[in-house]
């Protein structure tokens, strides 16, 4: 199971780095959810998206760490299922929160 920690950790670090870049350089043109829509606060949207990517990276990184330390396969499976649910809820919150930055 050491591979899970390595894979999840690498993907998590990549997402966190992408979040920092989106936030710092305001790379909102990379966000497919908001492409082509009028945005009234690009800096706010970039911060919101950057924090979302950092959060998703932390979820993956943390899941890899916890799964590696789980003692049974059932516990590992439950952690992975919990990660999926947490990511789905986080994505929904991201979409709803990002709508605040669109012009009405």
Rounded CA-CA distance 23/52 in Å is 10
Cβ neighbours of residue 17 under 8 Å, at least 6 residues apart? Answer: 57
pLDDT of residue 2: 77
**Along the 104 residues of the chain, how does pLDDT read in single tens digits?**
579 899 999 999 999 999 999 999 999 999 998 888 999 999 999 999 999 999 999 999 999 999 999 999 999 999 999 999 999 999 999 999 999 999 97
Q: Could you give the number of structural domains in the chain?
A: 1
Look up the domain containing 87 and give its range.
2-28+36-101
pLDDT of residue 1: 58
Evaluated on CA atoms 23, 29, 30, 34, the torsion sign reads positive
């Amino acid at each position: 199971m050491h591979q899970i920690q390595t894979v999840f950790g690498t993907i998590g670090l990549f997402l966190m780095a992408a979040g920092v870049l989106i936030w710092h350089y305001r790379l909102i043109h990379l966000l497919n959810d908001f492409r082509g829509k009028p945005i009234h606060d690009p800096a706010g949207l970039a911060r919101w998206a950057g924090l979302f990517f950092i959060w998703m990276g932390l979820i993956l990184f943390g899941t890899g760490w916890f799964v590696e330390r789980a003692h049974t396969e059932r516990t590992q499976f439950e952690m992975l299922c919990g990660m999926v649910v947490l990511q789905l809820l986080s994505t929904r919150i991201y979409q709803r929160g990002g709508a605040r930055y669109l012009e009405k």
